[in-house]
């Protein structure tokens, strides 16, 4: 049996890089030699907790942002052939269920997830091949292409807010996802205020297009700071990309009347927040939340990357071998690495 090196998640903070069989493919599948896999906040969360109810149950291969080369195709595959460079999303909807028929494929009752990007090879199942896999344009690097999945979540998240050019958007949280929101909002013509803890890290968002920054380590009242930067009105749109009760509260308080908040960051399950009903009602505040992505958002994200709007150089801070993944995950968990790392298996 042919084997390969892969990272296997065994549980809480337990990842081992070991030899496992190369995945077998069925008729509609692809076998892809992974050339770059990117770390993601979700992976760090999974590593810390040991599982993800929806996405992954250990022991399992994991990692979900990748691009690579097709090395084998199933009998029924016609769109792809060995040798092509491809990028795939980490899921595909059924297109038949209650939610899919209502135009919400991200809420699909039978969303098929695919994990195993931290490995030499990954199987891409037929449904993902059909609905969420594309050839990578020649001018893109593997790591550029691998940004399509997280960017797809961001594209959907911003689309959900109804952002228009000229709007002021406050983004709370400047990890990889928050930083991508800053960049994308700027590309779409918004005025962007980035809110993060450390001034030093906020400097990076200025290079991505943030017009103003608010460092919470320097101010007791970030809500007042954002209001001050918006003529006292508050932001048209607030994106919460931290996932904590406190920042969910800030988001609502930073909005102008009639504004839209997207609670993008998911706090730990069981978290409750209290909201001022008067504020919501009399200020006509719209509260949204976005989960995951859709095939359309994935395609849109890849188009943005192809046009050069988003490049790996801005979001990928380091490169490491597959063997060093457990150590990289610890560093991401402790915060000594903050943006993404490209794992090259
Ligand atoms: Zn991800
Ligand atoms: Zn469905």
b/e per residue 142-151 (b: at least 16 CB within 10 A): bbbbbbbbbb
pLDDT bucket at 338, cuts 50 / 70 / 90: confident
Q: How far is CA 209 from CA 168, 171, 182, 184, in A?
A: 13, 12, 7, 9
- pLDDT over 90 at 52, yes or no: no
pLDDT reported for residue 299: 98
Residue 258: HSE in the Cβ half-sphere, 13 Å Cα cutoff: 5
> Which pLDDT score, from 0 to 100, does residue 306 have?
98
Q: What is the mean pLDDT of residues 124-137?
A: 98
Ligand 2 center–CA 342 separation, angstroms: 31
pLDDT of 51 higher than 80? no
CA 42 / ligand 1 centre spacing (Å): 6
C-alpha 10 – ligand 2 centre gap (Å): 29
Model confidence pTM above 0.95: yes
Q: What is the pLDDT of residues 199-250, one digit of tens each?
A: 988 999 999 999 999 999 999 899 999 999 999 999 999 999 999 999 999 9
Distance 54 CA to ligand 1 centre (A): 14
Considering Cα of 273, then 278, then 279, then 281, what sign does the dihedral take?
A: positive
Q: Which tops the pLDDT comparison, 46 or 118? A: 118
Query: Bridge partners of 192?
Result: 169
149 Cα–ligand 1 center, Å: 6
- Centre of ligand 2 to C-alpha 218, Å, is 46
Please name which of 180, 237, 224, 175 lies closest in space to residue 202, comparing C-alpha atoms.
175
Ligand with the closest atom to the CA of 92? 2
The pLDDT-based confidence of 54 (bands split at 50, 70, 90) is: confident
If you average pLDDT over residues 85-106, what whole number do you get? 98
Q: How much of the chain, in percent, has pLDDT values that exceed 90?
A: 92
- Range with lowest mean pLDDT among 2-6, 19-23, 31-35, 48-52: 48-52
Compute the average pLDDT of residues 158-180: 97
Ligand nearest to the CA of 131: 2
What is the rounded CA–CA span in Å between residue 279 and residue 252? 9
Read off the tokens for 275: 């909201």
Mean pLDDT, residues 269-274 taken together: 91
Rounded Cα distance between 182 and 169, Å, is 8
Q: How many CA atoms lie within 13 A of 187 on its CB side?
A: 19
Contact at 8 Å (CB) between 239 and 287?
no
């Amino acid at each position: 049996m042919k084997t390969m090196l892969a990272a296997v998640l065994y549980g809480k903070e337990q990842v081992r890089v070991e030899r496992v069989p190369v995945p077998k493919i069925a008729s509609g599948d692809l076998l892809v030699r992974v050339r770059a896999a990117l770390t993601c906040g979700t992976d760090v969360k999974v590593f810390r907790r040991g599982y993800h109810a929806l996405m992954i149950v250990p022991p399992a291969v994991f990692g979900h942002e990748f691009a690579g080369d097709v090395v084998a195709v199933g009998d029924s595959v016609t769109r792809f052939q060995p040798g092509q460079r491809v990028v795939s999303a980490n899921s595909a909807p059924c297109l038949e269920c209650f939610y899919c028929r209502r135009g919400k494929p991200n809420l699909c009752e039978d969303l098929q997830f695919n994990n195993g990007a931290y490995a030499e090879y990954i199987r891409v199942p037929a449904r993902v091949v059909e609905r969420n896999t594309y050839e990578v344009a020649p001018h893109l690097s593997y790591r550029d292409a691998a940004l399509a999945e997280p960017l797809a979540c961001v594209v959907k998240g911003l689309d959900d807010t109804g952002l228009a050019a000229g709007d002021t958007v406050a983004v709370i949280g400047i990890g990889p996802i928050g930083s991508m929101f800053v960049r994308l909002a700027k590309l779409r013509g918004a005025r962007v205020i980035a809110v993060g803890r450390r001034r030093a890290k906020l400097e990076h968002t200025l290079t991505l297009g943030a017009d103003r920054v608010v460092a919470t380590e320097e101010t007791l009242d970030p809500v007042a700071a954002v209001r001050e930067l918006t003529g006292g009105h508050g932001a048209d749109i607030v994106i919460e990309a931290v996932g904590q009760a406190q920042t969910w509260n800030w988001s609502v308080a930073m909005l102008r009347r009639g504004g839209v908040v997207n609670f993008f960051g998911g706090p730990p399950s069981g978290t409750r927040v209290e909201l001022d009903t008067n504020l919501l009602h009399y200020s006509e505040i719209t509260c949204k939340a976005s989960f995951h992505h859709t095939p359309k958002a994935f395609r849109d994200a890849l188009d943005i990357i192809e046009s050069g709007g988003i490049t790996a150089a801005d979001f990928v801070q380091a490169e490491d071998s597959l063997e060093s993944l457990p150590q990289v995950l610890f560093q991401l968990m402790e915060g000594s690495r903050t943006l993404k790392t490209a794992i090259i298996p």
